[in-house]
Amino acid sequence: MNTREELRKLPSVDRLLQAPELAQAIAEWGHNLVADLARAVIERAREAVLGGAPCPGYEALARDVAGELERVTRPSLRPIINATGVIIHTNLGRAPLSAAARAAMAAVAQGYSNLEYDLEAGRRGSRYDHAVTLLCQLTGAEDAVVVNNNAGAVLLALAGVAAGREVIVSRGQLVEIGGGFRVPDVMRQSGARLVEVGTTNRTHLRDYEAAIGPETGALLRVHQSNFRIIGFTAEVPLSEMVALAHQHDLPVIDDLGSGTLLDTTVYGLAPEPRVQESVAAGADLVTFSGDKLLGGPQAGIIVGKARWIQVLRRHPLIRALRVDKTTLAGLQATLLHYLRGEAEQEIPVWRMIAARPEDLECRARAWTAALKAHGIAADVAPAQSAVGGGSLPGETLPTTAVVLTPRSAEALGRALREGDPPVVARVVEDRVWLDPRTVLPEEETALLSAIRIAWERIHG
């Protein structure tokens, strides 16, 4: 093949832009963007030709430009189907929201709202007033404040009560949460000085007592969200930490991480600490996430004593951590489900935790039958779902999975991720596992058709 001759066949950018299939693209997205993409496509083709490939046809090049345009203009953040069986999957956006939460968020997003406006008085109000009553009602706390996420809540709590002073924490609680949240680093950023006490496996009340001095600003407890120490261990109960701290007029901050308002043992899981229990034990500030077991939008919630919450509400850092109106609307709607006693029916995370094994099996069998009817090698198998989100490590819920045995599990896993909507499943050795627990009922039709398309793509 004559490279020179092949190179001469490459169209100019202007000529490529005259392709009929690009007219609509230019009308919609403008000449400049399409021209940039055309230039890049031609350049890539030129390099391929220089490497010995034949020159692609004019129409193929135009199709490439259209394909590039589609890739560039598609929003990078999009809905996906979570078939992993991990309920609170941080990489997959944590908690799906209830219908009421979504509606509340859409309603305040659409127009104006009384975010910082007191309708009764007809003057400026505070965004920090909105979820307070509900949070106090549900947790028994005196006051509450909501910020952007729980990492921010911990930062604000430490900065507000102990900047420039010492904070005493057990060595067994110097945890790292996924995404680089490390307790010692957050403390440094807050301006508080870390004083470690005890050992990795055992910390006693006398360890805290010995560390309290004139520089002490607070005692901190951090829930070991994503790991567990077993064997010869000792931790000080929160109520004993509180009694000791209050003797010295010091506050106790309790970072629960996930936290929960409902009792996880009802579902055969280990107990995840409940927010109400920390409040009842006398913790001055309790921090937890909005989008872990609470099942709401991303937020950091701080409940506790009015005296300390007031300090946080006036702290300059709160402006940098402030919560958005849609978040507040979604959070309020989520909290109302708890108040009405309907969390298990209405909040997706709890519906998934509470799903009955026989219903999951029934769904898995129905999917399998539908897939087999299309010649797909599918079967059901017992499996385990996880709660995830840095809560309840090692705890699982029994489920029934659909197990696919394709020519290449790797390839099918990739084809599913590249589908529309993308599906994330578990690839284990030569099989692909799909857990109905985390697939919303309204996603089922789209899931089954995505599986068929992906299957056909790799089996030809």
Ligand X SMILES: *Cc1c(COP(=O)(O)O)cnc(C)c1O
Q: Which residues bind ligand X (CB under 6 A)?
A: 149-151, 154, 177, 181, 222-223, 225, 255, 257-258, 289, 300, 390
3-state class (DSSP) for residue 177: strand
Q: What residues are paired with 81 via a beta bridge? A: 423
Q: Is residue 295 left, alpha or beta, with left meaning phi > 0 and alpha meaning psi from -120 to 50?
A: left
Shorter beta-carbon distance to ligand X: residue 84 or 289: 289
d(CA 58, CA 31): 19
CA-closest candidate to residue 257, choices 229, 227, 292, 215: 292
Helix (H, G, I), strand (E, B) or coil at 382: strand
Using the minimum distance from each CB to ligand X, give the nearer residue, 227 or 398. Answer: 227
Nearest-approach distance from CB 222 to ligand X, in angstroms: 5
- What are the contacts of 4-13 at 24+ separation with CB within 8 A? 6/49, 6/54, 6/55, 7/46, 7/49, 7/50, 7/55, 9/55, 10/42, 10/45, 10/46, 10/49, 10/55, 11/42, 11/58, 11/61, 12/42, 13/38, 13/39, 13/42
Whichever of 55 and 347 has its CB closer to ligand X, that residue is 347
Query: Cβ atoms within 10 A of the Cβ of 316, count?
Result: 7
- Token reading at 68: 């590039």
> Which residue's C-beta sits nearest to ligand X?
257
Write down the least CB distance from residue 344 to ligand X, Å.
22
Cα gap 424→76, rounded to integer Å = 16
Q: How far apart are the first and last CA of the chain?
A: 31
Q: Between 146 and 451, whose beta carbon lies closer to ligand X?
A: 146
The nearer residue to ligand X, 34 or 156, going by C-beta atoms, is: 156
Closer Cβ to ligand X, 166 or 291, answer by number? 291
The smaller minimum CB distance to ligand X, of residues 150 and 385, is found at: 150
Q: How far apart are CA 288 and CA 259, in angstroms?
A: 6
Which lies closer to ligand X via its Cβ, residue 160 or residue 390?
A: 390
Across 92-107, b (16+ Cβ under 10 Å) vs e yields: eebbbbbebbbebbee
Work out how close the CB of 184 gets to ligand X at its nearest, in angstroms, rounded to a whole number. Answer: 13
| Two tokens, residue 151 | 């990492």
What is the closest distance, in whole angstroms, from the C-beta atom of residue 141 to ligand X in the complex?
18
Which of 173/368 has CB closer to ligand X?
173
Q: Which is nearer to ligand X, 68 or 291 (CB)?
A: 291
Position of tokens 């402030």? 322
CB of 323 to ligand X, least distance (A): 12
Strands (E), 367-422: 378-388, 396-404
429 DSSP 8-state letter:
T
Instruction: Give the CA distances from residue 203 to residues 191, 225, 245, 388, in Å, rounded to whole numbers and listed in that order.
Output: 24, 18, 16, 27
Cis peptide leading into residue 421 (ω within 30°)? yes
Residue with tokens 């067994």: 172
Instruction: Round to whole Å and give the CA distance between 69 and 79.
Output: 20
Closest to ligand X by CB, 300 vs 304, is 300
